[in-house]
Amino acid sequence: MTRLSIVLLMAVMASALYLVHVQYESRKLFTEMERATAEAHRLEVERDRLEVEKRAQATPLRVEKLARDKLQMRNTTPAITLYVPYAANTAAGAGETGTTR
């Protein structure tokens, strides 16, 4: 009977140690999950902030102002528009066989 009691005591001790280990791992994983959730929330807030900033940067007035200031662009007018004449016989005589590609 003593041997059976010792074996059962060892089984209970092993089970208790295993239970403690499983609880420790569970808490550790829960902490990592909470940390990952907080990081995901932080990244989502950052993405939303960047989306708002992108929309603010791409307004038509801002783009037009940058085009005028940095690129020295201006609106087109008939006075500064250059019209290129189309020569129909030049395009046909340059090796075109009349087939469409």
- Condensed to tens digits (0 to 9), the pLDDT of residues 19-62 reads 999 999 999 999 999 999 999 999 999 999 999 999 988 888 88
**Length of the chain, in residues:** 101
Q: State pTM to two decimals.
A: 0.51
The amino acid at residue 65 is K
Closest to 10 measured CA to CA, from 2, 23, 20: 2
Residue 101, pLDDT score: 43
CA angle, 14 then 20 then 22, to 5°: 100
Residue showing tokens 């420790």: 24
Rounded CA-CA distance 31/24 in Å is 11
The amino acid at residue 36 is A
Residue 58 tokens, joined:
């791409």
CA angle, 24 then 29 then 31, to 5°: 95
Domain ranges of the chain: 14-92
Q: Which of 40-44, 64-68, 90-94, 97-101 has the highest average model confidence (pLDDT)?
A: 40-44
